[in-house]
Structure formats: structure tokens, C-alpha cells
Amino acid sequence: MTSRNHLGHDVCAVCGAAISGVEAQVFDSTCSRLLCRVTRAQRIAQQISKDKQQRRREKARRRKEQALAHRDRLAAELQIPAHQSFQAFALPAQQRPLVPLPEDRKASFREHLERMVQEAFAVVVPAEAPSFSPAEDNANSHGEMSPILRAGCAVCQGRCCLQGGDQAYFTVDLVQRYRGQHPQATAQDVYREYDSRLGERTYENSCVYHQQQGCGLPRELRSDTCNRFECEELAELHREARASGEPLLLVALDGGEAVRWSVCSQTPTGQT
């Protein structure tokens, strides 16, 4: 919205100088001075960021309320004493059914796998090939997922994996990382390694490696996207709970209904 002075004339939203209607339209309510245009753009960006943060806080508040609303009932079912002291967290719920992995999806992945391997082996492996590097703040010193995040992912059952599709985030960089770890490996070795880990069943239209027990790949064979990504809900859980000694009640919600839950302290226990 264009700013106006007491006479009703258009003025620059930054410096207050009088501007024409054309300037107001072309320069987004500022004069033609570069400083004013840059300042205006920065203010807009800051406001967008604030609005996003506010929406994120509001969503977190609603998730907290939903989790707390289920806490008493679930605590009674789990026969948990003193459940009022539990922190409660709402997580997403992956609800697709397990189905046989179709042959056309296997073929699509194998075509992608072969192409990525061929492209990777078309160049000399870098002397400093990228190594497996889980996010420092969500893994222990051995690169294993923290108990809190492991419990959260188990309750959700992998909604973020649904985007993996027939390519499973498999890239040339992932092949190069494998080559750096296994200098003697041939292209056929890499192909066989990943092809052999395809399961017969996966969640419907999810990542080809998304199996009932979780990912069909060990963490060192997964892409950085898979190893480092945290959904908004999981990031919130990690941020608020990792420094707390209180037990956690993790609730996977679908449309506000609890479909899975788990109690987590240092290691996940409970019912799903």
C-alpha cells in the first residue's frame, strides 16, 4: 500500500519524498533512489520472515495442545503414573499401506541407479571424496541417530520418505561418496550394492527403500538428504526435548486423531 502525506499525495515509503503514481507502481511504493528500493525490499523480507516465524509458533502451539489433549487418555491406556509430568509432542503420521513393490517401479529405479553410476564413473573419483556426515546435532559420536529422533521417526513411520519415489534421492554425489569409502569398487559393485537392498514390499508410492522396518539402506548408504533432513515437527521435538530429563509422550496424529504413540526417555519404549 502506497504511503500518502497529509495532502493526500503519494510519498516514498522509506524517505518520505513525494513520488508520482508511476513511481509508486514501478518501484513498489518507493522513489527511484536505489537506497530506498533496497531498504524497502529488506523491510518486506524481514516482515515475511516474521510472519513465517509467527505461523510456525502458532502451528507448534496447536500441535502441543493436540498432544496434551491425548495425554491423559493414552497415559491411562499405557498405565503410566504421574503422567502430568510428561512432555507431550505431536508428530505427523505416515498412513499409507504396505504393498508389493511393483516391477515397473523397480525398473524405474534401476534405470535411474544405472544412469547415476555411469555418470559417476565417467569421471575420476575426487581425492577428497565426500564422506558420510550425519548432522552433528542429531547424531551421536558414532553417527547413530539420537534416541529421541529415532523414537520420533518410529512413531511417524516416515512421512518424509514419501517424497523419495523411484529415485530414492540417489545422486552422482552419493556414488562418489561410496567410491571414496570403497576405492576398489567397480560400477557393477555399486549397482549390486544398492539393487540388492530393494525389498519386495514398500509403502504405497513412497520411496522404493521405505519398508516396514524403516529404510532398507543403512545410514552410511543413504543420501545426505535422508540423513540430515528434519521435518518441522521433529526439529521442534529435538530442540525442546533433548536437554530435558523428563519422559516424553510422542503422539502421531492424523487429522487430530492419535494413530500411534510411544513413551521415550533415553531409549524408546512403549506402544505403537
At residue 182, the pLDDT reads 93
Instruction: State pLDDT tens for residues 15-62.
Output: 888 888 787 778 878 888 889 989 988 888 888 888 888 887 777 777
**Whether the predicted model's global pTM rises above the 0.75 cut:** no
Q: Which residue in 206, 215, 217 sits closest to 165, CA to CA?
A: 206
Instruction: State pLDDT tens for residues 104-158.
Output: 999 999 999 999 999 999 987 665 655 655 554 455 444 466 788 888 999 999 9
> What is the β-pairing status of strands 210-211 and 201-203?
unpaired
Helices (runs of H) and strands (runs of E) counted in the chain: 8, 10
At residue 197, the pLDDT reads 96
pLDDT band at 6 (very low <50, low <70, confident <90, very high): very low
What Rg do the C-alpha atoms of the chain give, in angstroms? 25
- pLDDT over 90 percentage in the chain: 39
Cα-based distances in Å from 53 to 46, 114, 137, 242: 11, 42, 21, 22
